[in-house]
Amino acid sequence: MSVNDLVLVQGIRDTRATLDDWNRAPWPVLRDWLLLSLAVSLALLGAVCVVASLSTPDSTPLLIPGVHYRAHLSDAARVLYRNSLVLALHAMACVAGFIAGSSLPQAAEHRTGLSRVIHEKAGPLAIGFVVCATTFSLVTQAYVLGGGASTVSAELGVPRAVLILALMPHALPELVALFLPLAAWLVASRRGDWHKLLAATFVTVAIAARVWVVTALMEVYLSPHLLVALAG
């Protein structure tokens, strides 16, 4: 059996064992993820508020489903597609953490010479790339969401802070679900549990997908009525 086969088998074993452990006691794991994801979500919303307060509203109006035209399921589908791109980045961060923190060190133990050096150095570089990519994602989201909030606020005549608070019922659970893989990555990196990240990817994506169906429908069919009411 080759080195890659051994690493693959060990990775599958680690993932199955992790899922079995979590099935026996799921709440402690979910609690840590949820609390950390909530903290990241609130930090992002705070950054959005700051960006919105500093941004000049765009003169080009934004067409909001349920406010400027009748909402359709296709609008919810676009919300799900938009969120899935960000979720994919965070899920890949988990997978990359699993490879860099668990698989590559195992492979390095069975190699020699230049191949061993490459496998030993690749892990930290991959983790550094994940950190940079995730930071870029968070900064970009704060900038885009803050700019959009500023524009919508000007269009509807609703204060920026009030607008963001009005969107919280769907935005907060949406963001918490979005950042679950990132939270799992942070928990695993802090504890050195890199071998659990592949299992964490499966679980967090499965949870996020279910939450997003509900929040997408809320964003398209419920939140617009609140915005219309606030706009008078």
Say if residue 8's pLDDT is above 90: no
As to burial, measured by CB atoms within 10 angstroms (0-12 exposed, 13-18 middle, 19+ buried), residue 70 is exposed
- 125 confidence band (pLDDT: 50, 70, 90): low
pLDDT in tens, 195-214: 888 899 999 999 998 998 99
* Spatial separation of the C-alpha atoms in residues 185 and 173, rounded to whole Å: 19
Tell me what percent of the residues of the chain surpass a pLDDT of 90.
24
pLDDT in tens, 66-109: 888 888 889 889 888 988 888 888 888 878 777 776 655 555 45
Whole-number average pLDDT of the chain? 82
- 5 confidence band (pLDDT: 50, 70, 90): very low
Contact (Cβ atoms closer than 8 angstroms) between residue 205 and residue 181: yes
Q: Count how many Cα atoms sit within 13 Å of the Cα of residue 79 in the half-sphere of its side chain.
A: 25
Contact (Cβ atoms closer than 8 angstroms) between residue 56 and residue 199: no
Give the rounded distance of the alpha carbon of 117 from its chain centre.
32
DSSP string of 165-204, one letter each residue: HHHHHHHHHHHHHHTHHHHHHHHHHHHT-GGGHHHHHHHH
- 45 confidence band (pLDDT: 50, 70, 90): very high
pLDDT of residue 9: 55
- 4 confidence band (pLDDT: 50, 70, 90): very low
pLDDT of residue 30: 93
- 226 confidence band (pLDDT: 50, 70, 90): confident
pTM of the model: 0.82
pLDDT of residue 106: 55
Q: Which residue has the higher pLDDT, 192 or 7?
A: 192
Mean pLDDT confidence for 225-229: 86
pLDDT of residue 42: 94
Mean pLDDT confidence for 54-73: 83
* Spatial separation of the C-alpha atoms in residues 170 and 156, rounded to whole Å: 19
- 112 confidence band (pLDDT: 50, 70, 90): low
Helix (H, G, I), strand (E, B) or coil at 144: helix
Query: Number of helices (H) and strands (E), helices first, in the chain?
Result: 9, 0
36-50, 65-79, 127-141, 203-217: segment of lowest average pLDDT: 127-141
pLDDT of residue 212: 86
Task: Give strand pairing partners of 69.
Answer: 65
